[in-house]
């Protein structure tokens, strides 16, 4: 017997030009700010960056209500600079990497922190902690012209109270270096998104909280935490 399934529609991210960016894959860089690495109990140095992946379906646009997920009592925000890839490349150098970039956006990497801690203690993958429905909110993608993602302030508030603030220049690995590193594992393709890590100050949210993440030059991303999805 042959089963037939309707293909899922592509996830389309908004851009500031009014176009839509078809999302392909998500690559998320861990511990790319020294202060955040320390607050998570790690000693940061310039070892090669590590990353995890997530489904495109985790992306939701600005202004949405995101469900508080099941199987956690400690759901955390992480504000991040997101890089949208617009050209294919494998084994590129850091000098070649900027030519692959379509643009930049503000993003959130929401995390089941208690699930992540259990996985770390057991030496297991982080999938259930990070690859979560509606866990990767994404603001409009700004085409890269006239943007310099190596400088600027990244910040986050919860219900108007400051929670995270940092400088993009504090990233341990720069955007071109991250792209070059990822390209040694995969051929990066148009539609890929790279979440580049978060500064210190991560913490939990509860139902009803309003999260606003901002990056200089990229505006604000706002989401509200809603009830658990059934």
| Main-chain dihedrals φ then ψ at residue 55, nearest 5 degrees | -75, 150
Whole-number percent of the chain with pLDDT over 90: 83
| Tens digits of residue pLDDT in 143-184 | 998 788 889 999 999 999 999 999 999 999 999 999 999 999
Q: Is 154 helix (H, G, I), strand (E, B) or coil?
A: strand
pLDDT confidence of residue 43: 67
Distance CA 122, CA 142 (A): 40
Fold of 19-226: Fumarylacetoacetate hydrolase; domain 2 (3.90.850)
pLDDT confidence of residue 20: 96
| Tens digits of residue pLDDT in 167-178 | 999 999 999 999
Whole-number percent of the chain with pLDDT over 70: 98
For residue 49, name the pLDDT band (cuts at 50, 70, 90). Answer: confident
Whole-number Cα distances in Å, 10 to 42, 83, 108, 135, 184: 37, 19, 20, 17, 26
Question: What integer is the mean pLDDT of 189-195?
Answer: 98
pLDDT confidence of residue 146: 74
Sign for the CA dihedral angle at 101, 103, 106, 109 comes to negative
Domain boundaries, the chain: 19-226
Radius of gyration for the chain, computed over Cα atoms and rounded to the nearest angstrom: 17
pLDDT confidence of residue 50: 87
């Amino acid at each position: 017997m042959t089963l037939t399934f309707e293909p899922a529609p592509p996830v389309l991210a908004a851009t500031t030009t009014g176009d839509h960016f078809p999302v392909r894959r998500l690559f998320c860089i861990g511990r790319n700010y020294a202060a955040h690495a320390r607050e998570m109990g790690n000693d940061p140095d310039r070892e090669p960056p590590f990353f995890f992946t997530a489904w495109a379906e985790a992306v939701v646009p600005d202004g949405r209500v995101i469900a508080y997920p099941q199987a956690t009592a400690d759901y955390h925000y992480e504000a991040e600079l997101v890089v949208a890839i617009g050209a294919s490349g494998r084994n590129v150098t850091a000098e070649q990497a900027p030519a692959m970039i379509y643009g930049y956006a503000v993003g959130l990497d929401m995390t089941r922190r208690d699930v992540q801690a259990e996985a770390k203690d057991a030496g297991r993958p982080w999938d259930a902690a990070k690859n979560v429905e509606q866990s990767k909110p994404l603001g409009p993608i700004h085409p890269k012209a006239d943007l310099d993602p190596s400088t600027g302030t990244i910040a986050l508030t919860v219900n108007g109270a400051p929670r995270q603030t940092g400088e993009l220049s504090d990233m341990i690995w720069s955007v071109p270096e991250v792209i070059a590193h990822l390209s040694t594992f995969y051929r990066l393709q148009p539609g890929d998104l790279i979440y580049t890590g978060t500064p210190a100050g991560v913490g939990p949210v509860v139902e009803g909280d309003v999260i606003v993440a901002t990056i200089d030059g990229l505006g604000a991303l706002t989401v509200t935490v809603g009830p658990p999805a059934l």
